[in-house]
Protein backbone atom coordinates (compact mmCIF):
# COMPACT_ATOMS: atom_id res chain seq x y z
CA UNK A 1 0.00 0.00 0.00
CA UNK A 2 1.19 3.50 -0.81
CA UNK A 3 0.49 7.10 0.20
CA UNK A 4 2.39 9.92 -1.54
CA UNK A 5 2.13 13.44 -0.18
CA UNK A 6 3.66 16.08 -2.42
CA UNK A 7 3.25 19.71 -3.42
CA UNK A 8 0.97 18.54 -6.24
CA UNK A 9 -1.53 16.85 -3.92
CA UNK A 10 -2.10 13.59 -2.09
CA UNK A 11 -2.15 10.29 -3.96
CA UNK A 12 -2.35 6.71 -2.81
CA UNK A 13 -3.88 3.28 -2.96
CA UNK A 14 -7.29 2.63 -1.41
CA UNK A 15 -7.57 0.46 1.69
CA UNK A 16 -5.20 -0.39 4.52
CA UNK A 17 -3.91 1.44 7.56
CA UNK A 18 -4.08 5.18 8.16
CA UNK A 19 -0.91 7.02 7.26
CA UNK A 20 0.03 4.31 4.76
CA UNK A 21 -2.75 4.63 2.16
CA UNK A 22 -5.35 7.01 0.80
CA UNK A 23 -7.97 6.51 3.48
CA UNK A 24 -10.89 8.56 4.88
CA UNK A 25 -8.89 10.07 7.74
CA UNK A 26 -6.10 11.32 5.50
CA UNK A 27 -8.62 12.59 2.93
CA UNK A 28 -10.34 14.65 5.65
CA UNK A 29 -7.03 16.01 6.95
CA UNK A 30 -5.71 17.00 3.54
CA UNK A 31 -9.01 18.48 2.36
CA UNK A 32 -9.23 20.51 5.57
CA UNK A 33 -5.68 21.78 5.11
CA UNK A 34 -6.45 22.84 1.55
CA UNK A 35 -9.66 24.61 2.63
CA UNK A 36 -7.77 26.37 5.43
CA UNK A 37 -5.14 27.57 2.95
CA UNK A 38 -7.29 28.57 -0.02
CA UNK A 39 -9.69 30.94 1.73
CA UNK A 40 -12.98 32.11 0.27
CA UNK A 41 -16.46 30.61 0.16
CA UNK A 42 -16.86 28.38 -2.92
CA UNK A 43 -14.96 25.34 -4.23
CA UNK A 44 -15.57 23.15 -7.31
CA UNK A 45 -15.23 19.36 -7.02
CA UNK A 46 -15.04 16.98 -10.00
CA UNK A 47 -14.03 13.35 -10.33
CA UNK A 48 -13.05 10.75 -12.88
CA UNK A 49 -14.69 7.32 -13.17
CA UNK A 50 -12.64 5.42 -10.59
CA UNK A 51 -14.35 2.82 -8.43
CA UNK A 52 -13.40 4.71 -5.27
CA UNK A 53 -14.48 8.07 -6.70
CA UNK A 54 -17.90 8.33 -5.07
CA UNK A 55 -16.48 7.45 -1.64
CA UNK A 56 -13.72 10.03 -1.92
CA UNK A 57 -16.10 12.67 -3.32
CA UNK A 58 -18.53 12.25 -0.41
CA UNK A 59 -15.73 12.75 2.11
CA UNK A 60 -14.25 15.73 0.26
CA UNK A 61 -17.59 17.48 -0.21
CA UNK A 62 -18.67 16.81 3.38
CA UNK A 63 -15.37 18.09 4.75
CA UNK A 64 -15.53 21.27 2.65
CA UNK A 65 -19.09 21.91 3.82
CA UNK A 66 -17.87 21.32 7.37
CA UNK A 67 -15.31 24.06 6.80
CA UNK A 68 -18.07 26.45 5.74
CA UNK A 69 -17.56 26.24 1.98
CA UNK A 70 -20.33 26.02 -0.59
CA UNK A 71 -19.40 23.17 -2.93
CA UNK A 72 -20.23 22.89 -6.62
CA UNK A 73 -20.18 19.15 -7.34
CA UNK A 74 -19.80 18.86 -11.12
CA UNK A 75 -19.90 15.05 -11.01
CA UNK A 76 -18.06 12.98 -13.62
CA UNK A 77 -15.68 15.47 -15.17
CA UNK A 78 -12.29 15.55 -16.83
CA UNK A 79 -9.39 17.33 -15.19
CA UNK A 80 -9.49 20.19 -17.75
CA UNK A 81 -13.28 20.46 -17.33
CA UNK A 82 -12.84 20.95 -13.59
CA UNK A 83 -10.09 23.51 -14.19
CA UNK A 84 -12.34 25.50 -16.49
CA UNK A 85 -15.30 25.13 -14.11
CA UNK A 86 -13.38 26.94 -11.36
CA UNK A 87 -13.06 29.99 -13.61
CA UNK A 88 -16.54 29.72 -15.09
CA UNK A 89 -18.16 29.44 -11.64
CA UNK A 90 -15.91 32.19 -10.23
CA UNK A 91 -14.96 29.79 -7.44
CA UNK A 92 -12.08 30.20 -5.00
CA UNK A 93 -10.51 26.87 -5.88
CA UNK A 94 -11.12 23.32 -6.97
CA UNK A 95 -10.36 19.71 -6.11
CA UNK A 96 -10.05 17.08 -8.82
CA UNK A 97 -10.52 13.51 -7.57
CA UNK A 98 -8.36 11.48 -9.94
CA UNK A 99 -5.16 9.48 -9.97
CA UNK A 100 -4.70 10.24 -13.65
CA UNK A 101 -2.83 7.36 -15.33
CA UNK A 102 -2.38 5.24 -12.18
CA UNK A 103 -4.08 1.80 -11.97
CA UNK A 104 -7.59 1.24 -10.59
CA UNK A 105 -6.59 0.84 -6.91
CA UNK A 106 -5.21 4.40 -6.83
CA UNK A 107 -6.95 7.71 -6.29
CA UNK A 108 -5.81 11.24 -5.54
CA UNK A 109 -6.74 14.82 -4.80
CA UNK A 110 -5.37 17.41 -7.24
CA UNK A 111 -5.61 20.96 -5.95
CA UNK A 112 -6.44 24.11 -7.92
CA UNK A 113 -6.23 27.83 -7.19
CA UNK A 114 -8.88 30.40 -8.10
CA UNK A 115 -7.53 30.55 -11.68
CA UNK A 116 -8.29 26.86 -12.12
CA UNK A 117 -4.56 26.08 -12.21
CA UNK A 118 -2.48 23.76 -10.05
CA UNK A 119 -0.98 25.20 -6.89
CA UNK A 120 2.59 26.46 -7.05
CA UNK A 121 5.33 24.55 -5.24
CA UNK A 122 5.30 27.09 -2.40
CA UNK A 123 1.51 26.91 -2.02
CA UNK A 124 1.55 23.13 -2.12
CA UNK A 125 4.22 23.05 0.56
CA UNK A 126 2.09 25.31 2.76
CA UNK A 127 -0.90 22.96 2.40
CA UNK A 128 1.33 20.08 3.50
CA UNK A 129 2.53 22.09 6.49
CA UNK A 130 -1.04 22.89 7.57
CA UNK A 131 -2.02 19.23 7.18
CA UNK A 132 0.80 18.08 9.42
CA UNK A 133 0.02 20.73 12.05
CA UNK A 134 -3.64 19.64 12.25
CA UNK A 135 -4.46 23.14 13.48
CA UNK A 136 -7.97 23.10 12.06
CA UNK A 137 -11.02 25.24 12.78
CA UNK A 138 -14.34 23.90 11.50
CA UNK A 139 -17.51 25.92 10.97
CA UNK A 140 -20.25 26.34 13.54
CA UNK A 141 -23.63 24.82 12.71
CA UNK A 142 -25.11 28.02 11.29
CA UNK A 143 -22.06 28.56 9.05
CA UNK A 144 -21.95 25.12 7.43
CA UNK A 145 -21.69 25.13 3.65
CA UNK A 146 -23.99 23.45 1.19
CA UNK A 147 -23.34 21.09 -1.73
CA UNK A 148 -24.92 21.89 -5.09
CA UNK A 149 -24.81 19.52 -8.08
CA UNK A 150 -24.21 21.16 -11.47
CA UNK A 151 -23.63 18.89 -14.48
CA UNK A 152 -23.53 21.67 -17.11
CA UNK A 153 -19.77 22.05 -17.32
CA UNK A 154 -19.04 19.23 -19.77
CA UNK A 155 -21.07 21.05 -22.41
CA UNK A 156 -19.58 24.39 -21.43
CA UNK A 157 -16.11 22.89 -21.86
CA UNK A 158 -16.99 21.61 -25.34
CA UNK A 159 -18.47 24.99 -26.27
CA UNK A 160 -15.24 26.72 -25.24
CA UNK A 161 -13.21 24.37 -27.46
CA UNK A 162 -15.45 25.05 -30.46
CA UNK A 163 -14.97 28.78 -29.96
CA UNK A 164 -11.16 28.66 -30.19
CA UNK A 165 -9.98 30.71 -33.16
CA UNK A 166 -7.74 27.92 -34.50
CA UNK A 167 -10.27 25.14 -33.97
CA UNK A 168 -11.37 24.93 -37.62
CA UNK A 169 -14.73 23.29 -37.01
CA UNK A 170 -16.07 23.95 -40.51
CA UNK A 171 -13.11 22.29 -42.25
CA UNK A 172 -13.22 19.35 -39.83
CA UNK A 173 -16.88 18.78 -40.64
CA UNK A 174 -16.19 18.90 -44.37
CA UNK A 175 -13.46 16.25 -44.01
CA UNK A 176 -16.00 13.77 -42.53
CA UNK A 177 -13.49 12.03 -40.28
CA UNK A 178 -14.20 8.62 -38.78
CA UNK A 179 -12.31 7.96 -35.55
CA UNK A 180 -11.94 5.17 -33.03
CA UNK A 181 -11.38 6.25 -29.40
CA UNK A 182 -10.35 4.28 -26.32
CA UNK A 183 -11.72 6.09 -23.27
CA UNK A 184 -10.53 3.46 -20.74
CA UNK A 185 -13.80 3.13 -18.79
CA UNK A 186 -13.71 6.63 -17.39
CA UNK A 187 -14.99 10.15 -18.05
CA UNK A 188 -13.67 10.27 -21.61
CA UNK A 189 -16.51 7.91 -22.50
CA UNK A 190 -18.97 10.61 -21.40
CA UNK A 191 -17.50 13.77 -22.92
CA UNK A 192 -15.67 12.66 -26.08
CA UNK A 193 -18.80 11.41 -27.91
CA UNK A 194 -20.35 14.84 -27.34
CA UNK A 195 -17.22 16.55 -28.67
CA UNK A 196 -17.19 14.32 -31.75
CA UNK A 197 -20.85 15.07 -32.45
CA UNK A 198 -20.18 18.79 -32.18
CA UNK A 199 -17.26 18.48 -34.62
CA UNK A 200 -19.25 16.40 -37.09
CA UNK A 201 -16.95 13.40 -36.59
CA UNK A 202 -18.20 9.84 -36.94
CA UNK A 203 -16.88 7.69 -34.09
CA UNK A 204 -16.67 4.35 -32.34
CA UNK A 205 -15.78 4.18 -28.65
CA UNK A 206 -13.85 1.32 -27.06
CA UNK A 207 -14.08 0.78 -23.28
CA UNK A 208 -16.83 3.39 -23.20
CA UNK A 209 -18.67 2.58 -19.99
CA UNK A 210 -17.58 4.83 -17.12
CA UNK A 211 -17.12 2.13 -14.47
CA UNK A 212 -13.54 2.72 -13.30
CA UNK A 213 -12.87 -0.96 -13.90
CA UNK A 214 -10.19 -0.26 -16.48
CA UNK A 215 -10.01 -2.74 -19.37
CA UNK A 216 -6.22 -2.41 -19.45
CA UNK A 217 -3.43 -0.44 -17.79
CA UNK A 218 -4.74 3.12 -18.14
CA UNK A 219 -1.47 4.83 -19.04
CA UNK A 220 -1.70 5.62 -22.79
CA UNK A 221 1.52 3.87 -23.81
CA UNK A 222 1.90 1.61 -26.84
CA UNK A 223 2.28 -1.56 -24.76
CA UNK A 224 -1.16 -0.93 -23.23
CA UNK A 225 -2.99 -0.14 -26.48
CA UNK A 226 -2.97 -3.41 -28.40
CA UNK A 227 -6.78 -3.50 -28.56
CA UNK A 228 -7.30 -0.20 -30.36
CA UNK A 229 -4.20 -0.70 -32.51
CA UNK A 230 -5.63 -4.00 -33.75
CA UNK A 231 -8.99 -2.31 -34.35
CA UNK A 232 -7.29 0.39 -36.42
CA UNK A 233 -5.41 -2.18 -38.51
CA UNK A 234 -8.79 -3.55 -39.55
CA UNK A 235 -9.37 -0.36 -41.54
CA UNK A 236 -12.27 2.05 -41.79
CA UNK A 237 -10.90 4.76 -39.50
CA UNK A 238 -8.93 7.94 -40.19
CA UNK A 239 -7.52 8.22 -36.68
CA UNK A 240 -7.28 6.44 -33.35
CA UNK A 241 -7.60 8.56 -30.20
CA UNK A 242 -6.55 7.47 -26.71
CA UNK A 243 -6.97 9.37 -23.44
CA UNK A 244 -6.14 8.57 -19.84
CA UNK A 245 -8.81 8.33 -17.10
CA UNK A 246 -8.98 12.09 -16.44
CA UNK A 247 -8.56 13.11 -20.11
CA UNK A 248 -5.59 15.46 -19.79
CA UNK A 249 -3.23 13.16 -21.72
CA UNK A 250 -3.72 12.35 -25.39
CA UNK A 251 -2.19 9.84 -27.81
CA UNK A 252 -2.97 9.23 -31.47
CA UNK A 253 -2.86 6.09 -33.60
CA UNK A 254 -2.44 6.37 -37.36
CA UNK A 255 -4.95 5.02 -39.87
CA UNK A 256 -2.74 1.94 -40.42
CA UNK A 257 -2.67 0.98 -36.73
CA UNK A 258 0.81 2.34 -35.95
CA UNK A 259 1.45 4.76 -33.11
CA UNK A 260 1.69 8.40 -34.08
CA UNK A 261 3.93 8.67 -31.03
CA UNK A 262 2.90 9.91 -27.59
CA UNK A 263 5.72 12.45 -27.69
CA UNK A 264 4.49 13.78 -31.03
CA UNK A 265 1.00 14.78 -29.87
CA UNK A 266 2.36 18.10 -28.62
CA UNK A 267 4.78 18.41 -31.56
CA UNK A 268 1.96 18.10 -34.12
CA UNK A 269 -0.35 20.51 -32.33
CA UNK A 270 2.49 23.00 -31.82
CA UNK A 271 3.43 22.84 -35.49
CA UNK A 272 -0.18 23.65 -36.41
CA UNK A 273 -0.41 26.55 -33.95
CA UNK A 274 2.99 27.99 -34.93
CA UNK A 275 2.09 27.86 -38.63
CA UNK A 276 -0.76 30.28 -37.85
CA UNK A 277 0.67 32.17 -34.88
CA UNK A 278 4.49 32.13 -34.56
CA UNK A 279 5.90 32.35 -31.04
CA UNK A 280 7.71 30.55 -28.26
CA UNK A 281 7.11 27.07 -26.85
CA UNK A 282 7.82 25.18 -23.63
CA UNK A 283 7.92 21.53 -22.67
CA UNK A 284 9.50 19.67 -19.78
CA UNK A 285 13.02 18.24 -19.62
CA UNK A 286 11.77 14.71 -20.36
CA UNK A 287 10.11 15.62 -23.67
CA UNK A 288 11.35 15.09 -27.21
CA UNK A 289 13.74 17.46 -28.97
CA UNK A 290 11.36 17.51 -31.91
CA UNK A 291 9.41 20.37 -30.31
CA UNK A 292 12.58 22.46 -30.21
CA UNK A 293 13.25 21.70 -33.88
CA UNK A 294 9.71 22.57 -34.96
CA UNK A 295 9.69 25.76 -32.89
CA UNK A 296 12.97 26.98 -34.39
CA UNK A 297 11.72 26.13 -37.89
CA UNK A 298 8.88 28.60 -37.31
CA UNK A 299 11.25 31.23 -35.92
CA UNK A 300 10.35 30.81 -32.26
CA UNK A 301 12.38 30.02 -29.15
CA UNK A 302 12.03 26.75 -27.24
CA UNK A 303 12.53 26.58 -23.45
CA UNK A 304 12.67 23.51 -21.19
CA UNK A 305 11.01 23.44 -17.76
CA UNK A 306 11.16 21.07 -14.82
CA UNK A 307 8.71 18.15 -14.99
CA UNK A 308 5.24 18.92 -13.66
CA UNK A 309 2.36 20.84 -15.17
CA UNK A 310 2.70 23.84 -12.85
CA UNK A 311 6.40 24.13 -13.73
CA UNK A 312 5.58 24.09 -17.44
CA UNK A 313 2.78 26.66 -17.15
CA UNK A 314 4.93 28.94 -15.00
CA UNK A 315 7.69 28.88 -17.61
CA UNK A 316 5.14 29.40 -20.42
CA UNK A 317 3.97 32.59 -18.75
CA UNK A 318 7.56 33.76 -18.25
CA UNK A 319 8.49 33.38 -21.93
CA UNK A 320 5.09 34.20 -23.42
CA UNK A 321 4.71 30.77 -25.03
CA UNK A 322 1.83 30.39 -27.48
CA UNK A 323 1.75 26.61 -26.99
CA UNK A 324 3.39 24.17 -24.60
CA UNK A 325 2.92 21.00 -22.64
CA UNK A 326 4.51 17.69 -21.81
CA UNK A 327 5.76 14.80 -23.89
CA UNK A 328 3.33 12.42 -22.22
CA UNK A 329 0.61 13.71 -24.53
CA UNK A 330 -0.24 16.82 -22.56
CA UNK A 331 -1.22 19.86 -24.66
CA UNK A 332 -1.41 23.24 -22.92
CA UNK A 333 -2.91 25.99 -25.06
CA UNK A 334 -3.15 29.37 -23.28
CA UNK A 335 -5.92 30.58 -25.63
CA UNK A 336 -8.09 28.05 -23.79
CA UNK A 337 -6.49 27.79 -20.33
CA UNK A 338 -3.22 26.92 -18.61
CA UNK A 339 -3.83 23.22 -18.20
CA UNK A 340 -3.33 20.00 -20.17
CA UNK A 341 -6.48 19.39 -22.18
CA UNK A 342 -7.11 16.42 -24.48
CA UNK A 343 -10.27 17.99 -25.91
CA UNK A 344 -8.31 21.03 -27.06
CA UNK A 345 -5.61 18.74 -28.45
CA UNK A 346 -8.14 16.69 -30.42
CA UNK A 347 -9.79 19.74 -31.98
CA UNK A 348 -6.46 21.31 -32.98
CA UNK A 349 -4.99 18.05 -34.32
CA UNK A 350 -8.09 17.37 -36.43
CA UNK A 351 -7.94 20.97 -37.66
CA UNK A 352 -4.37 20.38 -38.83
CA UNK A 353 -5.26 17.13 -40.60
CA UNK A 354 -8.31 18.71 -42.21
CA UNK A 355 -6.50 21.80 -43.47
CA UNK A 356 -3.55 19.82 -44.82
CA UNK A 357 -5.76 17.19 -46.40
CA UNK A 358 -3.35 14.46 -45.35
CA UNK A 359 -3.44 11.24 -43.33
CA UNK A 360 -1.99 10.88 -39.85
CA UNK A 361 0.85 8.75 -41.27
CA UNK A 362 1.71 11.45 -43.80
CA UNK A 363 1.61 14.15 -41.13
CA UNK A 364 3.94 12.18 -38.84
CA UNK A 365 6.56 11.95 -41.60
CA UNK A 366 6.84 15.74 -41.75
CA UNK A 367 8.44 15.93 -38.28
CA UNK A 368 12.01 15.20 -37.11
CA UNK A 369 12.23 11.54 -36.14
CA UNK A 370 13.59 10.79 -32.67
CA UNK A 371 13.15 7.66 -30.59
CA UNK A 372 12.60 7.89 -26.86
CA UNK A 373 13.00 5.06 -24.33
CA UNK A 374 11.00 5.38 -21.11
CA UNK A 375 12.30 3.18 -18.30
CA UNK A 376 11.53 3.06 -14.59
CA UNK A 377 12.96 1.53 -11.44
CA UNK A 378 10.89 0.83 -8.33
CA UNK A 379 12.25 2.49 -5.20
CA UNK A 380 13.01 0.61 -2.01
CA UNK A 381 12.98 2.23 1.46
CA UNK A 382 16.78 2.09 1.40
CA UNK A 383 17.20 3.88 -1.95
CA UNK A 384 19.17 7.12 -1.56
CA UNK A 385 17.99 9.09 -4.59
CA UNK A 386 20.14 12.13 -3.79
CA UNK A 387 23.28 9.99 -3.71
CA UNK A 388 22.33 8.43 -7.04
CA UNK A 389 21.91 11.87 -8.63
CA UNK A 390 25.30 12.98 -7.34
CA UNK A 391 26.89 9.84 -8.75
CA UNK A 392 25.32 10.40 -12.17
CA UNK A 393 26.55 14.01 -12.28
CA UNK A 394 30.05 12.84 -11.38
CA UNK A 395 30.00 10.30 -14.21
CA UNK A 396 29.57 13.00 -16.85
CA UNK A 397 31.28 15.98 -15.18
CA UNK A 398 34.46 15.63 -17.26
CA UNK A 399 32.71 14.89 -20.55
CA UNK A 400 33.09 18.09 -22.59
CA UNK A 401 30.43 16.94 -25.04
CA UNK A 402 27.77 16.71 -22.32
CA UNK A 403 25.68 19.48 -20.78
CA UNK A 404 24.35 18.70 -17.29
CA UNK A 405 21.04 20.18 -16.12
CA UNK A 406 20.03 19.54 -12.49
CA UNK A 407 16.93 21.70 -12.06
CA UNK A 408 14.87 18.48 -11.87
CA UNK A 409 16.88 15.33 -11.19
CA UNK A 410 19.77 15.13 -13.65
CA UNK A 411 19.57 15.52 -17.43
CA UNK A 412 22.65 14.80 -19.54
CA UNK A 413 22.41 16.49 -22.94
CA UNK A 414 24.69 15.36 -25.77
CA UNK A 415 24.68 16.81 -29.31
CA UNK A 416 22.84 13.77 -30.69
CA UNK A 417 21.07 12.29 -27.66
CA UNK A 418 20.02 12.90 -24.04
CA UNK A 419 19.10 11.01 -20.87
CA UNK A 420 17.07 12.27 -17.89
CA UNK A 421 16.90 10.63 -14.46
CA UNK A 422 14.46 11.87 -11.82
CA UNK A 423 12.30 10.73 -8.94
CA UNK A 424 8.60 10.60 -9.85
CA UNK A 425 6.17 12.99 -8.13
CA UNK A 426 3.27 10.55 -8.51
CA UNK A 427 4.71 7.04 -7.97
CA UNK A 428 7.44 5.49 -5.77
CA UNK A 429 9.79 5.08 -8.75
CA UNK A 430 12.75 6.62 -10.52
CA UNK A 431 12.04 7.51 -14.14
CA UNK A 432 14.85 7.25 -16.67
CA UNK A 433 14.01 8.71 -20.09
CA UNK A 434 16.49 8.76 -22.95
CA UNK A 435 16.27 9.89 -26.58
CA UNK A 436 18.42 9.28 -29.66
CA UNK A 437 18.16 8.72 -33.41
CA UNK A 438 17.32 5.02 -32.90
CA UNK A 439 15.53 3.11 -30.15
CA UNK A 440 18.60 0.91 -29.68
CA UNK A 441 20.79 3.94 -28.98
CA UNK A 442 18.20 5.49 -26.67
CA UNK A 443 17.67 2.29 -24.72
CA UNK A 444 21.40 1.67 -24.36
CA UNK A 445 21.89 5.15 -22.88
CA UNK A 446 19.02 4.63 -20.47
CA UNK A 447 20.30 1.21 -19.41
CA UNK A 448 23.70 2.76 -18.63
CA UNK A 449 22.09 4.91 -15.95
CA UNK A 450 19.81 2.10 -14.77
CA UNK A 451 22.91 0.05 -13.98
CA UNK A 452 24.16 2.88 -11.77
CA UNK A 453 20.87 2.93 -9.86
CA UNK A 454 20.77 -0.85 -9.39
CA UNK A 455 24.30 -0.89 -8.03
CA UNK A 456 23.45 1.78 -5.46
CA UNK A 457 20.18 0.28 -4.20
Active site residues: 100
Angle between helices 153-162 and 342-356 (to 10 degrees): 30
CB neighbour burial string for 391-408, b if at least 16 within 10 angstroms, e if fewer: bbeebbeeeeebeeeeeb
CB neighbour burial string for 341-357, b if at least 16 within 10 angstroms, e if fewer: bbbbbbbbbbbbbbbee
CA–chain centroid gap for 177, Å, is 26
The count of other CB atoms within 10 Å of the CB of residue 275 is 15
| Nearest of 230, 251, 253 to residue 331 by alpha carbon | 251
d(CA 18, CA 1): 10
Q: How many CA atoms lie within 13 A of 184 on its CB side?
A: 28
Sorted by sequence, the CB contacts under 8 Å of residue 304 that are 6+ apart come out as: 282, 283, 284, 285, 287, 405
How far is the first Cα of the chain from the last one, in angstroms, to the nearest whole number? 21
d(CA 81, CA 99): 16
Sorted by sequence, the CB contacts under 8 Å of residue 386 that are 6+ apart come out as: none
Question: Which phi and psi (to 5°) does residue 446 adopt?
Answer: -65, -40
CB 430 within 8 A of CB 423: yes
**CA-CA-CA-CA torsion sign (17, 20, 23, 29):** positive
Q: Which long-range contacts (CB under 8 A, 24 or more apart) does 222-228 make?
A: 222/259, 222/262, 225/182, 225/251, 225/253, 225/259, 227/182, 228/180, 228/182, 228/253
CB 305 within 8 A of CB 318: no
Sorted by sequence, the CB contacts under 8 Å of residue 453 that are 6+ apart come out as: 377, 388, 421, 430, 432
CB neighbour burial string for 373-385, b if at least 16 within 10 angstroms, e if fewer: bbbebebeeebee
Amino acid sequence: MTLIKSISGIRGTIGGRTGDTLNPLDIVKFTTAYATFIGGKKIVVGRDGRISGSMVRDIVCGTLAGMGYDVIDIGYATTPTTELAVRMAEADGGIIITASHNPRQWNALKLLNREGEFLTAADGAEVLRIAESEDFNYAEVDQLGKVTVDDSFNQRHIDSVLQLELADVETIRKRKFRVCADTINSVGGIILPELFKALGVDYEILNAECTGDFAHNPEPLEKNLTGIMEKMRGGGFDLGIVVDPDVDRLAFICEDGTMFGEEYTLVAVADYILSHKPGNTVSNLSSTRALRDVTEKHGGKYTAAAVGEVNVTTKMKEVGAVIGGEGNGGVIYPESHYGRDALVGIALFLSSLAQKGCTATELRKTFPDYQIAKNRIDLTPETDVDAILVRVKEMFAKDNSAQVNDIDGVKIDFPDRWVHLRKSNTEPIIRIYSEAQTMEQADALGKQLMDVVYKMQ
